[in-house]
Structure 1
Amino acid sequence: MRILFVCTGNTCRSPMAEGMMRQIAKERGLDVEVRSAGVAASDGSSMSRHAESVLKEQGIMDRIVSTSLHGELVEWADLILALTEGHKRQIVYTFPAAVDKTYTLKEYVEDNADVLAEKEELQRLAAELELDRALGKKPDDAARRRLNELLHRLPVYDISDPFGGSREDYNRAAAEIRAALEKLADRLASDRDHSGDTGWG
């Protein structure tokens, strides 16, 4: 499994996610390759000082330099995890073929059954309304109202941006990322265990 984490400049959130996920995967024996990139990154910049010290404190000494998001990286990845909804939209807008493997990190690890059911309903309603629009039919007012209600009710899946902030801001973002990555590792381990790869053919 090849995972690509994406944020804005690839100097704060996505390199922290990359470093932590590599560590977690190694600890749990998961066969995962990890990289990171930024939708507005310049190549070769160092991680922010606070991001680097957060990782060092967790025993992660990886030297991660910024990489701008490009087509080869998108193709390389089996799963693209954006750190915010805005990043996800930008990835899908620039690389539409990646839509089926692009999520926000928190969205991908969501495990609340009620939230998942509402997300499914939202996608279905959006598709129906889009089809009505394409066919020139008048949109269903009740469906539009329900769509708006769901949009307001569903959680925001953004990881807070510590850029330019204090070490405390970086600690907070890192804690958010690590909590999501632990859930991601649980999901990957579960997928591996249920993939039928048990040596029974």
Structure 2
Amino acid sequence: MKNILFVCTGNTCRSPAAEAVYRKKAKEASLETDVKSAGMYGMPGMGLSQGSRNALDERNIPHSHQSQTVTEELLDWADLVLTMTQDHKRRLIEQFPHMNKIVYTLKEYAYDTSENREKKRMLDREAAELEMKRVRFINDNQDKVEEYNATGDLVKQQELERELLEEIRPHQEAIDQILQDYPSIDVVDPFGGSDQIYRDTLSEIEEAVDRLVEKLKQGD
């Protein structure tokens, strides 16, 4: 049996919705699994937000929820921790570094295909090249930077900035092109939004959970 813990900010919108969706779809797929959710800053005992309740009810997804905060005990229970955003993931790993091997964003884990891994490698490579050229340009032009700053020569400063942008432009264009086809890793926070925003967020979660369930069925 695999224990899944979904994590968002307050444990009233995204993570409990993911918990409800996963519980339903895992049952339909006959997966031996258990699921819980928690918030980075959850206030214990809060119910599901009205927008999330409405969206789940419209799709006949059962739900029963009281919010809770992430604890080390919950993390010890979990075999897999799936956060709604990269920031949640980063903060969790900062607080509980020994858990880093089981913490992913939901979409990072669900969409971990060979194609997306290759895109990630390409992104990392282009970003590294861009940063290397940026640092080299600044180091090579340090005297000019200091001179133009000292004299307040805005024209020269702007010329230097344009040279830098031209130097890194091929890598920035490559990054922009890759990102056009690269799935967003974060699930949109619907808190305070319209009913349609809650519906859209639930659709986003459902699509990722479908992929997650399929992946777990295959034994990944």
In the superposition, the TM-score normalised over structure 1's length comes to: 0.79
Structure 1 residues 39 and 148, CA gap change in structure 2 (3 angstroms): farther
| 1:180-195 aligned within 5 A | 180-191=208-219
Q: Output one character per residue of 1:36-95: Cα deviation in whole Å (capped at 9) or x when no partner.
A: 000011100011011112222222332111110111001110000000111111111111
| 1:1-201 aligned within 5 A | 1-120=2-121, 141=132, 153=178, 155=182, 156-191=184-219
Deviates more, 1:181-190 or 1:56-65: 56-65
Instruction: Name the SS for the 1:6 alignment partner.
Output: strand
Identity of paired residues, percent?
39
Q: Aligned partners of 2:24 and 2:126: how far apart in 1? A: 40
Q: Aligned partners of 1:13 and 1:186: how far apart in 2? A: 20
In the superposition, the TM-score normalised over structure 2's length comes to: 0.72
Structure 1 residues 151 and 87, CA gap change in structure 2 (3 angstroms): farther
Deviates more, 1:27-36 or 1:59-68: 59-68
Q: Aligned partners of 1:48 and 1:149: how far apart in 2? A: 40
Instruction: Name the SS for the 1:186 alignment partner.
Output: helix
Q: Work out which of the two has the higher radius of gyration on C-alpha atoms and give 1 or 2.
A: 2
Question: Unpaired segments of 5 or more residues in structure 1?
Answer: 130-139, 193-201
Deviates more, 1:71-80 or 1:58-67: 58-67
Cα deviation for residue 108 of structure 1 reads 0.4
Q: Aligned partners of 1:178 and 1:125: how far apart in 2? A: 32
Structure 1 residues 118 and 162, CA gap change in structure 2 (3 angstroms): same
Deviates more, 1:90-99 or 1:56-65: 56-65
Give structure 1 regions of 4+ aligned residues with deviation exceeding 6 angstroms.
121-126, 144-152
Q: Aligned partners of 1:2 and 1:151: how far apart in 2? A: 36
Q: Aligned partners of 2:209 and 2:79: how far apart in 1? A: 16
Deviates more, 1:15-24 or 1:87-96: 87-96
Q: RMSD across aligned C-alpha pairs, in angstroms?
A: 2.7
Structure 1 residues 185 and 123, CA gap change in structure 2 (3 angstroms): same
Cα deviation for residue 32 of structure 1 reads 1.2
Aligned residues: 180
- Counterpart of 1:24 in structure 2: which amino acid? K
- Counterpart of 2:86 in structure 1: which amino acid? E
